[in-house]
C-alpha cells in the first residue's frame, strides 16, 4: 500500500477514533491502535503512535463537555497529577514486555472487555436502591422506601484525593504502557467508585486522557518508537471526530449511552483478542 493511501486510511481511522474518544471518554485508541497495526505499523509502533493523537482529540472533546458544565475540576486535577509519572513509567516498560507487542495488544483487549462489563452494569450510586427502599417501606411505611431511594440516588460523588490518585496511577500506567489514554479504567471507576454521573465521568475522563498522553508521547518520541506517518494523520482526523462524538454523547439519554458504550467496547474487545491470538499462533 502506498504512503498516500496509508495517510488517507489513517486519517479516516483518526476520525472514527475521535468519535469514540468524544462519545465514550476513552481516548479512542481501541480503534486507532488495531487500525494502524492493520495498515502496516508494527504492534509496538501501533501502541506508541496512537498517543500523540489522543492529545488534540481529548482537547477538542473536552472543550465541548466544558461548555455543558460536564467537567469535574477536582477529579481531573488529582487524577492527572498522580498519573503523569505513571505514564512515563508505563511507556518505558512497553519495550521490555515480551511478545513483540502482541501481548500488549492482548492486554489492551482484556482492558476493553473490563470497561465494557463495568459500564454495562448499573451505576454504583443506584446499587441496592430497590432493596433498601423495599426494606424501608416494610419497616416504616410506604413513604420511607421512597425517601431512602431518593437519598441514594442523589448521593454526592466521592472525590477524596487518595481515591483519585489511585485511579490516576492506574490510568497513567496503562496510558503509557498500552497507548490507550487510560479512559478504559477511568470511566468505569469514575462512575462506580467515585460515583460521578455518566456524562461528567466521560468528560472528566477525556480531559485526563489528554493530559496523561503528554508525558507518554514525549517518552515514546525520545526513544524513537513513534511512526509519524501514522501519528500525524491520526492527530488531524481525530479533532473533528471528537467534536462529533462529544456532541452525540451529550444529547443521548444516559441509559442509551451506557448500553451503546458497553456494547461497542464488547465487540471491539472480542475482535481485538481474536486478531492478536491469530497473529501469535500464525
Q: What percent of the chain has pLDDT over 70?
A: 82
As a residue count, the chain comes to 282
Q: Which residue has the higher pLDDT, 200 or 138?
A: 200
| Per-residue pLDDT reduced to its tens digit, 109-118 | 787 787 778 7
pLDDT at residue 33, rounded to an integer: 81
b/e sequence 257-282, b meaning 16+ C-beta within 10 Å: bbebbbebbbebbeebbebbeebeee
Q: pLDDT band for position 103 (50/70/90)? A: confident
Q: Collapsing DSSP states into helix, strand and coil, what is residue 155? A: coil
For the cut 60, the answer to whether the pLDDT of residue 137 exceeds it is no
Amino acid at each position: 500500500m502506498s504512503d498516500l493511501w496509508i495517510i488517507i486510511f489513517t486519517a479516516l481511522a483518526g476520525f472514527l477514533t475521535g468519535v469514540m474518544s468524544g462519545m465514550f471518554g476513552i481516548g479512542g485508541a481501541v480503534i486507532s491502535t488495531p487500525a494502524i497495526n492493520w495498515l502496516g505499523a508494527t504492534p509496538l509502533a501501533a501502541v506508541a503512535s496512537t498517543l500523540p493523537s489522543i492529545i488534540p482529540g481529548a482537547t477538542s472533546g473536552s472543550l465541548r463537555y466544558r461548555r455543558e458544565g460536564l467537567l469535574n475540576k477536582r477529579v481531573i486535577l488529582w487524577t492527572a497529577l498522580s498519573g503523569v509519572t505513571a505514564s512515563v513509567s508505563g511507556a518505558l516498560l512497553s519495550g521490555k514486555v515480551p511478545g513483540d507487542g502482541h501481548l500488549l495488544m492482548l492486554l489492551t483487549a482484556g482492558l476493553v472487555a473490563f470497561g465494557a462489563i463495568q459500564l454495562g452494569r448499573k451505576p454504583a450510586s443506584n446499587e441496592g436502591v430497590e432493596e433498601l427502599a423495599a426494606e424501608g417501606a416494610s419497616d416504616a411505611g410506604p413513604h420511607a422506601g421512597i425517601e431512602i431511594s431518593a437519598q441514594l440516588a442523589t448521593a454526592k460523588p466521592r472525590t477524596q484525593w487518595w481515591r483519585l490518585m489511585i485511579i490516576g496511577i492506574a490510568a497513567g500506567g496503562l496510558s503509557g504502557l498500552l497507548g490507550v489514554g487510560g479512559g478504559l479504567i477511568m470511566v468505569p471507576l469514575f462512575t462506580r467508585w467515585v460515583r460521578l454521573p455518566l456524562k461528567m465521568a466521560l468528560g472528566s475522563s477525556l480531559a485526563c486522557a489528554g493530559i496523561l498522553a503528554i508525558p507518554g508521547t514525549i517518552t515514546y518520541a525520545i526513544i524513537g518508537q513513534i511512526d509519524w506517518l501514522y501519528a500525524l494523520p491520526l492527530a488531524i482526523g481525530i479533532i473533528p471526530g471528537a467534536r462529533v462524538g462529544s456532541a452525540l454523547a451529550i444529547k443521548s439519554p444516559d441509559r442509551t449511552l451506557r448500553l451503546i458504550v458497553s456494547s461497542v467496547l464488547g465487540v471491539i474487545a472480542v475482535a481485538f483478542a481474536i486478531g492478536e491470538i491469530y497473529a501469535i499462533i500464525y
